[in-house]
Structure 1
Amino acid sequence: MKISRGLTPSTSRPYSVVTIGNFDGHHHGHRALLDRVVATARREAGTALVLTFDPHPVKILAPQVNLMFLTTPEEKLARFEAAGIDEVVFLEFTTAFAALSPAQFAKQVLCDGIGTRELYVGEHFAFGKGRAGRIADLLKLGAQLGFRVHPMAPVTIDGEVVSSTRIRQLIHAGELQKAIRLLGRPYSIEGTVISGAHRGTELGWPTANLRLPEGRVIPPDGVYAAQVSWKGSGLNAVVYIGTRPTFGAGERLLEVSILDERLELYGEVIRVDLLGFIREDRVFASAEALTRQIALDVDAARAQLRDAGTTVSLPALQPRS
């Protein structure tokens, strides 16, 4: 998969079939767009192309908003490649770029910049200065400039529109099962295992600790059923997110206790797929009381994992070549 920074019109890029967006989360709605783009590009022996922005437009247009993301840039690119996208074009989003009129955006970016022949976007797509351009404008401009526009209706699941905003809200609220349904997969956090205070080992439940990544959506503090991907294996686990208030609040971490196996994971990169909420975080009267509760948490995690049928390995994303 080719990655381009800035507009790079090229006569060697055949029949550009394009979609536009930030694609944070790569959820069911995103995949519907990407599938149509890839299918059309293959039919026309063309290029399946994603036009996206860096930084996210909200960071420029509304810097006061503390926008958190569902995917890392690396994960997003890996998922584009897995979907069959041939090229990803990153445009720097600046105040000057945001000031382009709808007509300027269509001419300078879509037509002259990437040679768009067909464009797939959501039917509520807005573009140009102040988001003034709408689908009717895009259809008219496409007809003038020589590219076809295909508006797509939003994907809905159980009557709910699938969107990154809604998924962020669900994860922030700890409603992981609803988020999984809209995402089409578990919500994942990846990181390198660090050394901790070894309290888990002292309590009889050793943990692998991860620092929470900056800028990512994090569920509420508490305990979760999870599965860990490590070296191609899927390992059932119970996860704690929080500051360990029973021992005096410390750094907020993600602590993973692998079920049924004792593994040396310090320094290893693992992916944690969060599958279901078990309980909120709270202070316990003693270490012994906490140990008893952890045993109950493990039982609850096993039940959730069994009900979800997650005893087989979940596929890991492959690194880009």
Structure 2
Amino acid sequence: MKISRGLTPSASRPYSVVTIGNFDGHHHGHRALLDQVVTTARREAGTALVLTFDPHPVKILAPHVNLMFLTSPEEKLARFEAAGIDEVVFLEFSPAFAALNPLEFATQVLRDGIGTRELFVGKHFAFGRGRAGRIADLLEFGAQFGFRVHPMPPVTIDGEIVSSTRIRQMIQAGELQKAMRFLGRAYGIEGTVIAGARRGTELGWPTANLRLPEGRVIPPDGVYAARVLWKARRLDSVVYIGKRPTFGAGERLLEVSILDERLDLYGETIRVELLGFIREDRVFPSAEALTRQIESDVAAARAQLREAALDPVSPLHSQS
């Protein structure tokens, strides 16, 4: 997959089939767009192209908003490639770029910048200064500049539109199973295992600790059923997110206890997929009381993991 920074019109790019967006989360709605782009590009022996922005437009247009993301830049690119995208074009979203009116955007970017021949966007897509451009404008520009526009309806689940904003809200509320259905997979966080205070080992439940990545959506503090992906293995786990208040609040971390195995993961990169909420974080009167609660948490995690494994339509049965 080719990655381009800025507009690089090229005669070697055949029949550009384009979609535009930020694609944070790579959810069901995103995949519907990408599937159409790739299918059309293959039929026309063309180029399946994603036009996206860096930084995210919200960072420029509303810098006061503390926007958190569902995917890292590396994960987003990996999912584009897995979807069959041939080229990703990153445009710098600057105040000057944001000032382009709809006609300038269509002329400088879609026609001259990437040679668009077909364009797939959501039917509520807006573009240009102040989001003034709408689908009707795109259709007019397409007729004028020689590209076809395909407005696509939103994907819905249980009558609710699938969107990155809605999925962020679900995860931040601890609604992981609902978020999983909208994403089409479990929500995951990747990181390198760091050394901890070894309290888990002292309690009989050793943990692999991750620092929570900056700028990522994190569910509420508490305990979760989880799965760890490490070296092509999938390991049933229970996860704690929080500051360990029973021992005096410290750094907020993600602590993983892998069930049924003891593995030395220090320095290893792992992906933790959060599958279901078990309980909120709380202070315990003693280490013994916490140990008894951990045993109960582990039993609850095992039950959730068994239930997920037996559900034939669970996203856990799809490739993450």
TM-score (norm 2): 0.97
Which residue is equivalent to 2:36?
36
| 1:164-243 matches, cutoff 5 A | 164-243=164-243
CA deviation vs aligned residue, 1:224-250 (integer Å, no higher than 9, x gap) = 000000000000000000000000000
Residue 111 (1) aligns with residue 106 (2): no
Which residue is equivalent to 2:277?
277
Q: Do 2:185 and 2:318's aligned partners in 1 also have CA atoms closer than 8 Å?
A: no
Structure 2 distance, partners of 1:17, 1:159, is: 30
Structure 2 distance, partners of 1:315, 1:80, is: 17
Query: Post-superposition shift, 1:310?
Result: 7.7
Q: Do 1:116 and 1:147's aligned partners in 2 also have CA atoms closer than 8 Å?
A: yes
| 1:306-321 matches, cutoff 5 A | 306-309=306-309
How many residue pairs match? The answer is 316
1:19 counterpart SS class: strand
Query: Post-superposition shift, 1:151?
Result: 0.1
2:117 maps to a residue whose letter is: R
Runs of 4+ in 1 over 3 A off after TM superposition: 313-317
2:80 maps to a residue whose letter is: F
1:89 counterpart SS class: strand
Residue 88 (1) aligns with residue 62 (2): no
Which residue is equivalent to 1:286?
286
Structure 2 distance, partners of 1:173, 1:203, is: 29
Query: Post-superposition shift, 1:128?
Result: 0.1
Q: Do 1:232 and 1:316's aligned partners in 2 also have CA atoms closer than 8 Å?
A: no
2:289 maps to a residue whose letter is: A
Q: Do 1:125 and 1:135's aligned partners in 2 also have CA atoms closer than 8 Å?
A: yes
Query: Post-superposition shift, 1:189?
Result: 0.2
Structure 2 distance, partners of 1:178, 1:29, is: 15
Residue 104 and residue 59 in structure 1: after superposition, are their counterparts in 2 closer, same or farther (change >3 A)? same
Query: Post-superposition shift, 1:316?
Result: 7.3
Query: Post-superposition shift, 1:118?
Result: 0.1
Unmatched tracts of structure 2, length 5 or more: none
Query: Post-superposition shift, 1:273?
Result: 0.4
2:291 maps to a residue whose letter is: T
| 1:243-254 matches, cutoff 5 A | 243-254=243-254
2:270 maps to a residue whose letter is: I
Structure 1 distance, partners of 2:244, 2:150, is: 51
Structure 2 distance, partners of 1:316, 1:120, is: 25
CA deviation vs aligned residue, 1:220-275 (integer Å, no higher than 9, x gap) = 00000000000000000000000000000000000000000000000000000000
CA deviation vs aligned residue, 1:120-163 (integer Å, no higher than 9, x gap) = 00000000000000000111111101100000000001111000
1:147 maps to a residue whose letter is: F
CA deviation vs aligned residue, 1:188-237 (integer Å, no higher than 9, x gap) = 00000000000000000000000000000000000000000000000000
1:115 maps to a residue whose letter is: G
Structure 1 distance, partners of 2:233, 2:310, is: 12
Unmatched tracts of structure 1, length 5 or more: none
Residue 307 and residue 315 in structure 1: after superposition, are their counterparts in 2 closer, same or farther (change >3 A)? closer
Residue 49 (1) aligns with residue 54 (2): no
| 1:152-171 matches, cutoff 5 A | 152-171=152-171
Structure 2 distance, partners of 1:117, 1:138, is: 13
Which residue is equivalent to 1:141?
141
Q: Do 1:188 and 1:271's aligned partners in 2 also have CA atoms closer than 8 Å?
A: yes
Structure 2 distance, partners of 1:141, 1:41, is: 21
1:149 counterpart SS class: strand
Q: Percent identity?
A: 84
2:81 counterpart SS class: helix
